[in-house]
Structure 1
């Protein structure tokens, strides 16, 4: 493995930051629910997600009456920054502290900015759902581990966006779901899907029905599924033969019901970007070909204007 690979693909063992990961997960849910309180409903809950930024994860702009604000997890200086459109800001230190303390400090910061907010006060999609205001169990924060996780997301975000570019059908942004704590991108066939059965812990079945209302092929990066996290891919509904389709250096995990490409496999390869691209391509092909999608109408060449763009003279003036 080259030095450049070790820099671009940091090693962060899942077992080494479990306590921090669980605490951060709860903090992310608090902020995600703040966005959810104000953003209008978009298909598949796209309005609730976070996005990779140059310093961490951001909500993007959140409407508040006639105003707007945003919230960013700054994983460089390790603080939560809340910015109002009038120029006022507040910050909450990201440091070892309980979820209850983080929740209290964040809600008080919003109050001080005139952004008084009420949210559903307990987490979703986790087996044990402790109300945020009462959660003194989760209180770990390792800034080095969080920084490494963010660097994993930065790289995954780049590759998922490159993959997304080859599709003109309905496709989600590359966005971070705080419920399961994964960075995801989803392509859709355009056809409705069978009603989803739900079953996510502490999450109403109708929520999952909205998320899986149409046929899809989803992929992303998740801090699980391998010793250092993993890229993943799944289809809903899963077509016959899907699990047996080749997936490059990945494999189908029957317990998870999805394809998995461990980060350590990517990191140690001679060409990590190509390994991920091959995994994403093959798993999408499994869903779209076996599911009889209209691929000619849905796919595009992301380099279709490359020659024209190359011929354009770019200037700073």
Structure 2
């Protein structure tokens, strides 16, 4: 039984390292890009590509409501029943199971459903933010063994991270992003802005137009997020500043297990440190706050104007 007043970390699930479920992870990543591209094609452009992400839902990941001339719609990954669900305003939903589908099968099933619901959409059929050689969605016919338990655990972790990120987000009254899931790199992120413009981003992201990165990083920012392991090797939290101010990488960051990873130019904190902590929320909030302060102090942000003083 939980002791009154003592944080309970049992709802922070243990996550496998990517090598334990790499096949499922890679495939769901590509599925999410298909759904994300559908949202991209049907949404008006919002600064910093805020019109393209997915969002954590009570059952998985969702596009949220997408406006459409024939009637708005929503697409959701249900990681409880392991189905993809397409809902259109004022009509019944259509779904199909996710178990062991190839990327090609998923692509065709999804677009066929949209056609049947009079939401005709065509997307650029090549994955983004992944290095070549890479196979277009319709041609990727490799079958997989879908690890339902692993993806369910990952989603449960997202629900906890999302909750803490929202709490962190609430302490900033300057421009701040929603907490959203970017399907390009398959990560949950939240970003604060100083209000000043930034130097032109150098681009160079695999299979991603440089102008996308230039627009996304048009203003100074401090960003934090969570990923399943890509880029590091195990599930981890990250934090970085753009442009990175002098002194940022040498700041004092909490908890002590956090470190600056030169290869990525980011601070990292392994997920297991948070999930195993006696107070996971506080441990993660310490990481988010101290990395933000490192960016804001060394970058000379106007913290007096940007930070919320009200106690909620």
Tell me, yes or no, whether TM beats 0.5.
yes
Q: Is the 8 A contact 2:8 2:279 kept in 1?
A: no
Equivalence for 1:314: none
SS at match of 2:11: helix
Equivalence for 1:251: 259
Equivalence for 1:204: 209
Cα distance, 1:170–1:138 mapped onto 2, change above 3 Å: farther
Quick one: which of 67, 73, 77 aligns to 2:77? 73
Q: Is the 8 A contact 1:23 1:140 kept in 2?
A: no
More helix by percentage? 1
Superposed, which structure 2 residues align to 1:235-246 within 5 Å? 235-246=241-252
Equivalence for 2:130: 126
Q: List alignment gaps of at least 5 residues for structure 2.
A: none
Once the two structures are superposed, residues 256-298 of structure 1 have per-residue CA deviations (whole angstroms, 9 ceiling, x without a partner) of 1100010111122221111101000000001001000000000
- Alignment of 1:290 onto 2:294: no
Equivalence for 1:264: 272
Paired residues in the alignment total 303
Once the two structures are superposed, residues 91-134 of structure 1 have per-residue CA deviations (whole angstroms, 9 ceiling, x without a partner) of 12111111000001111111111111101111100013311000
Cα distance, 1:76–1:293 mapped onto 2, change above 3 Å: same
Equivalence for 1:41: 45
Equivalence for 2:94: 90
Quick one: which of 28, 36, 41 aligns to 2:32? 28
Q: Is the 8 A contact 1:227 1:264 kept in 2?
A: no
Q: CA deviation at 1:140?
A: 3.8
Q: CA deviation at 1:138?
A: 6.2
Equivalence for 1:105: 109
Q: CA deviation at 1:137?
A: 3.3
TM-score by length of 2: 0.94
Equivalence for 2:144: 139
Q: Report the Cα distance in structure 1 between the residues aligned to 2:14 and 2:59, rounded to whole angstroms.
A: 16
Q: Is the 8 A contact 2:37 2:123 kept in 1?
A: yes
Superposed, which structure 2 residues align to 1:223-238 within 5 Å? 223-224=228-229, 228-238=234-244
Cα distance, 1:256–1:140 mapped onto 2, change above 3 Å: farther
Q: Is the 8 A contact 1:24 1:141 kept in 2?
A: no
Q: Report the Cα distance in structure 1 between the residues aligned to 2:308 and 2:130, rounded to whole angstroms.
A: 38
SS at match of 2:308: coil
Q: CA deviation at 1:5?
A: 2.2
Superposed, which structure 2 residues align to 1:157-236 within 5 Å? 157-224=162-229, 228-236=234-242
SS at match of 1:297: helix
Q: Report the Cα distance in structure 1 between the residues aligned to 2:310 and 2:72, rounded to whole angstroms.
A: 34
Q: List alignment gaps of at least 5 residues for structure 1.
A: 307-317
SS at match of 1:7: coil
Q: CA deviation at 1:227?
A: 5.6
Cα distance, 1:58–1:28 mapped onto 2, change above 3 Å: same
Q: Report the Cα distance in structure 2 between the residues aligned to 1:138 and 1:158, rounded to whole angstroms.
A: 34
Q: Report the Cα distance in structure 2 between the residues aligned to 1:289 and 1:172, rounded to whole angstroms.
A: 20
Which deviates further from its counterpart, 265-274 or 119-128? 265-274
Q: Report the Cα distance in structure 2 between the residues aligned to 1:5 and 1:147, rounded to whole angstroms.
A: 17
SS at match of 2:289: helix
Q: Report the Cα distance in structure 1 between the residues aligned to 2:55 and 2:310, rounded to whole angstroms.
A: 22
Q: CA RMSD in A?
A: 1.5
Q: Report the Cα distance in structure 2 between the residues aligned to 1:297 and 1:89, rounded to whole angstroms.
A: 46
Equivalence for 1:299: 307
